[in-house]
Structure 1
């Protein structure tokens, strides 16, 4: 919208408080602040929700792959042939054998439920999720036959374990005796403690070499599953469709959407619901712009009439008041983007400060799943929020601008 010099001058004049117009200016300032808060709230919440999904996806996939071939009864024979067939499938990046078995762990008189994870040494060394999050000890000590394992940080805390301490793993599949089956108990040394940032994993995982896991669970040369990584996670079902015939009768193929369908579906529903609810803040702010412009038009009725008698057109009046309203909205949007960026940058510090002031644990990893408040800002999403807010601000200006343009100078100035 192009304004000439006098239209720009009048628009600037109406943006600043005149004599006796402090209340109108206050309403306009409140409108600007409301737009800023609405835009900031949308950007913050959507970024946090995106961060939740991205962080969970990266860490879940980093430990469990995009799909697994799960053997019946937790055992997969002839896994070498299945792994080779998976690697030969177009779109598959890797296919790694794994063992995962729920057991019990005991240390210092404490007992916890765990998930034993057996990995080949080369696969364990290549796993960035685990190796980049070692808190103490060294993953280099976790070698076949060493009797050492790596455990999650929350499990270490629950058991009172540390690098060098011993933990006993209890398997229900033990040896048979005349009085029944006796659980198998094997003692290992803690070689490393890791923290991937997902509470459920840090509370349960005990990672050991594949050979040690096969010995502990008396599986021979069998494995429990094959972890598969694909090039396009969103098309994992189509990519692995041909693999179903290879594993038929031996196991099933389960992708990341099936393994975590409830979690990701809940996040998506919550994301949409939060967007709709917080968008109402922007709508309310836009109504404030509408009301402030209506008040401004009423206060400037005589000025508008004089301008009309001096030759100002209806279109000029429309442009002036549309410019005033859109300027208020744009300044609020700009402030909201800055406010949202600042909050997201200091988000964890803000959470910690609120926890310190209230004495409440607002971010319990056992409830929130992740150890820290995540964030991932989508530029396309931010652009959509900004454009939507600008459009709403523009629409809010049309009625007051039309009323200003419809002012009849004869009626207004008749008795002046």
Structure 2
């Protein structure tokens, strides 16, 4: 009996993980735990019939251990970033469209039915069929069969012109990159249901994708007014303001988003950049530190922290930040160059030179690194190599570096003249020694 109870509990645990997998869309949980339930069921059956052998028990236990280990791996992989209550509710309400995609498709069956039931003038059979077609469209969407999903949503709207049907059409069109058509259907959703938060959000995303930032901002602001407790609208508005260079307003909106959802890495990260660009370096660093708590393996984040720490004269911390950035992304020429600048700042010129050389190897057209390499070599009196680096810089420099180009040209000409005079003096000295030897022979 004890053996049966233990196996039954294990079976219920596997069933629980399957339900979690279905609800949160972690499909990898389903097959492995289904196998676990089958093994447990077989074990109970064979135990009752007393056909189970000691050797088979060992094999069964080994199989269950493997399943448990696999579950741990999946949990670590899928939950390594904490799923918040807000995110869990979104996954229940909406189809998951992907990272950093903020448009919506409704998946909640109750919401779909309640929206369609508003159309009492439509025959019941048509209303039932319309809801079923949206559910089928959602299934196709989850399988990434977007054209099939669109057809189901379209058929549903032929039966009942529901706001959810139009919204989901806009969502699948956004996913497919058909932004103008997506905007039309999101507008239809808003016309069908005037206070439909998700419809304004989808309109904003479509307009943003079409680079119509001012209009996109208006839609995000409308969405935020309709649902001020939803962080995504504030976050999307902040991103638009950031793109428009309105950093102070962007910071205010990021703050509103973070007050509602404090574990939004991107909000902390872009707030930090916005603060940096408004000259608030200490505040920017604090924002980056918050972002680092949420995602510590982000190379660009550590690079940006290094830049601020350098500007704040916290050079040893800056070097550590650049080194971490490079460990995460060894091919970042910018991180190598800026590490070199900071090393040069504290007098480690030879180490700085190695960094500049690594940066130019990664990107032969990286003008900043060629200029810094030239200055370092010049300081170390390696004038010939410095001359070559100045020429490389001049060839690679954009128009924005015009002042540095003039300086580099002047210095390159000075070195060229110096090298030419040195060569001339060496040749003259050689000829003079040759003439003296000839006289001695006579």
Q: Same fold (TM over 0.5)?
A: no
TM-score when scaled to structure 1?
A: 0.24
TM-score when scaled to structure 2?
A: 0.23
The structure in which a higher percent of residues are strand is: 1
Higher normalized contact order (CA 8 Å, seq sep 6+, divided by chain length)? 1
The structure in which a higher percent of residues are helix is: 2
